[in-house]
């Protein structure tokens, strides 16, 4: 079985500040990890994914995430927040076993203050 | 344009009145899936399909049915909707069901209210 924990349902940062959204996973087999972003009234859009190649993964819109096996973490970062980054962010895990479904965290809503 | 489409986008109905939410993808994907999104719970998988005529239960299948007669379509059926099925529903697809590394593409969502 696999699971994801996202610490902090709401995160608020100032424009230009560092964005850090936390994700910890649990999996009994090697995981694949994803970050999705959901803008208001829209579907989910892939930001980036880890599929066992490089541990530091770069995504769209200046986001990146680092897979740390020892910490079972896959935190999402962006050096400088922009107003357009305000959205809800979901971390998800899957594996190549069983029904190969994405298991999502509960989401983190990011607010960017001017 | 590669996309997943869902209809309707918004639906208000009453308890017990059968409804169908359609989902279609134009990317020739084998794997399709339905999720529901509820506040504080993230997205949970309802049903999925590895390919045509192959469907199986996800984490929360009770009260739902699906069918996969064609590769591009994967309708979600609520035979007798109840208020606890009020939620935001997403259809998604990815290239294959064999490997999990493929990107999953999501539709725009269907907001369902059951009175």
Q: Is the pLDDT of residue B100 over 80?
A: no
Q: Token match 């509820």: residue?
A: B38
**B27-66: per-residue pLDDT in tens?**
999 999 999 999 889 999 999 999 999 999 999 999 999 9
Residues whose CB falls within 8 Å of the CB of residue A36, separated by 6 or more in sequence, listed in order: A44, A45, A46, A47, A89, A90, A92, B106
Burial A87-110 (b: 16+ CB within 10 A, else e): bbbbbbbbbeeebbbbbbbbbbeb
Cis peptide before B8 (omega within 30 of 0): yes
Question: Which residues of chain B neighbour A92 with C-beta distances below 8 Å?
Answer: 43
**Of A69, A92, A75, nearest in space to A2 by CA:** A92
CB contact under 8 A, A49 and B103: yes
Q: How far apart are CA B18 and CA A54, in angstroms?
A: 48
Overall residue count recorded for chain A in this entry: 114
Q: How far apart are CA A102 and CA A93, in angstroms?
A: 6
Is residue B69 within 8 A of residue B60, CB to CB? The reply is no
CB contact under 8 A, A101 and B90: no
Q: What percentage of chain B reaches a pLDDT higher than 70?
A: 100
Least trusted range by pLDDT, from A65-69, B75-79, B95-99, B111-115: B95-99
Q: Is the pLDDT of residue B89 over 80?
A: yes
What residue in A sits closest to B5 (Cα-Cα)? A43
Is residue B77 within 8 A of residue B17, CB to CB? The reply is no
Query: pLDDT-based confidence at B7, cuts 50/70/90?
Result: very high
Measured between CA atoms, how close is B48 to chain A, in angstroms? 8
State whether residue B74 is helix, strand or coil. coil
Burial B16-46 (b: 16+ CB within 10 A, else e): eeebebebbbeeebbbbbbbbbeeeebbbbb
Residue A62 has a CB neighbour count (10 Å cut-off) of 14
State whether residue B112 is helix, strand or coil. strand
Query: pLDDT-based confidence at B14, cuts 50/70/90?
Result: very high
Is residue B36 within 8 A of residue B100, CB to CB? The reply is no
Q: How many beta-carbon contacts under 8 Å exist across A and B?
A: 60
Question: Which residues of chain B neighbour A90 with C-beta distances below 8 Å?
Answer: 42-43
Interface of B with A in 32-61 (CB under 8 A): 33, 35, 40-45, 48, 56, 58-59
CB contact under 8 A, A101 and B109: no
User: Would you state the structure tokens that stand for residue A31, as one six-digit string?
Assistant: 């995981």
């Amino acid at each position: 079985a696999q699971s994801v924990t996202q610490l902090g349902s709401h995160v608020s940062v100032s424009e230009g500040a560092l964005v850090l959204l936390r994700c910890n996973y649990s999996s009994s087999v090697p995981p694949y990890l994803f970050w999705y972003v959901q803008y208001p009234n829209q579907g989910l859009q892939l930001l980036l994914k880890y599929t066992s190649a490089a541990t530091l993964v770069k995504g769209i819109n200046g986001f990146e995430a680092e897979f740390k096996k020892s910490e079972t973490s896959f935190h999402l970062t962006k050096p400088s927040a922009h107003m357009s980054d305000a959205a809800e962010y979901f971390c998800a895990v899957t594996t190549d076993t069983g029904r190969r479904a994405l298991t999502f965290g509960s989401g983190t809503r990011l607010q960017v203050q001017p | 344009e590669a996309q997943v489409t869902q209809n309707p986008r918004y639906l208000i109905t009453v308890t017990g009145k059968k409804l169908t939410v359609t989902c279609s993808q134009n990317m020739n994907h084998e794997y399709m899936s339905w999720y529901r999104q509820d506040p504080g719970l993230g997205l949970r998988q309802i049903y999925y399909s590895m390919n045509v005529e192959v469907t199986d239960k996800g984490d929360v299948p009770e009260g739902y049915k699906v069918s996969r007669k064609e590769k591009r379509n994967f309708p979600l059926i609520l035979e007798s909707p109840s208020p606890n099925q009020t939620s935001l529903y997403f259809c998604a697809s990815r290239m294959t069901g064999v490997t999990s590394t493929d990107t999953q593409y999501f539709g725009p969502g269907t907001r369902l209210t059951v009175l």
